[in-house]
Amino acid sequence: MISFLQAILTLSFLSSECGQAPLNNKIFGGEAATAGAWPWQVSIHITCDGDLCYCGGSLINKDWVLSAAHCLQGFGTSDIMMYFGRLRRSGLNPYETNRTASRIIIHHTFNNPKNDNDIGLIQLSSSVTFTDYIRPVCLAAAGSTFAAGTEIWVTGWGKLHSGGECRFVCPFPDILQEVQVPIVSNSDCYDAYGGCLLYIVRDINAQCLSIQGDSGGPVVSWNGSLWIQSGIVSFAGVKCDDPRYPSVFTRVSQYQDWIVKKKE
């Protein structure tokens, strides 16, 4: 089994520039992000029932975005617009570019609503150019593990929450949000859900770590030299303010072979 320190090994199709964030000087902390702090973060806008739905994603090379299957199921390439280098949901984003989708791939055994195998890929209509604000993330190597207590980061524009049930009345933040939290043990996850792939506990303020608008976004950790994506936001706990039900994330290392095969 591959250790966390060995997890810097990356997929053959990933750029050698992966996992670098020159403008991110924060390894601890949280709340509002700064421009370029998470250069692989993608804002995915989906046309659904005449309205816009929002999900997150991660840039894994110049042509592909990794996201959650439940964000993409039932939609076509013409329904999707992706934004790179974005910090704000509204107003000026001087480092931003966008792309449409040319292909959508959902894991063939994705099970909704259980969200098993909640992983998908989007091929960009054209390649993006890497800058300090737009860069790919490294993916956790196949078989790599992340011990309970490992500090990981979750990022996204999901609805703000500060306890209680607030899913449909809390506002979306204007600025990309970040939070650092530890992974919980496998036994805790089995107690809560009867088994899951990757998950974390909520932060010290008992805020909901990932809710509407965060799905599909990256979960990353710093190994001392590179940022590694170990998870994909899948679903929040049964109740956002109930510590017995941590948020759940798809474990990227279990799908490395699938990712390599499907992008070919």
Active site residue 16: no
Active site residue 215: yes
Q: What is the pLDDT of residues 197-238, one digit of tens each?
A: 444 444 434 445 455 558 899 999 998 899 999 999 887 555
Q: Would you state the CATH architecture of domain 39-136+254-263?
A: Beta Barrel (2.40)
Q: What is the pLDDT of residues 78-127, one digit of tens each?
A: 999 999 999 998 889 999 999 999 999 999 999 876 678 999 999 999 99
* Catalytic entry in 58, 63, 67, 70: 70
Q: What is the pLDDT of residues 43-89, one digit of tens each?
A: 999 999 889 899 999 999 999 999 999 999 999 999 999 999 999 98
More confident residue, 182 or 2: 182
* Catalytic entry in 63, 118, 210, 230: 118
CATH superfamily assigned to domain 138-253: Trypsin-like serine proteases (2.40.10.10)
* Catalytic entry in 215, 230, 247, 253: 215
Look at residue 239 and tell me whether its pLDDT is greater than 70.
no
The reported pLDDT for the residue numbered 166 is: 47
Active site residue 118: yes
Look at residue 146 and tell me whether its pLDDT is greater than 60.
yes
Domain ranges in the chain with CATH number 2.40.10.10:
39-136+254-263, 138-253
- SS3 track for the chain: CECCHHHHCCCCCCCCCCCCCCCCCCCCCEEECCCCCCCCEEEEEEEECCEEEEEEEEECCCCEEEECHHHHCCCCHHHEEEEECCCECCCCCCCCEEEEEEEEEECCCCECCCCECCCEEEEECCCCCCCCCCCCCEECCCCECCCCCCEEEEEECCCCCCCCCCCCCCCCCCECEEEEEEECCHHHHHHHHCCCCEEECCCCCCCCCCCCCCCCCEEEEECCCCEEEEEEEEECCCCCCCCCCCEEEEEHHHHHHHHHHHHC
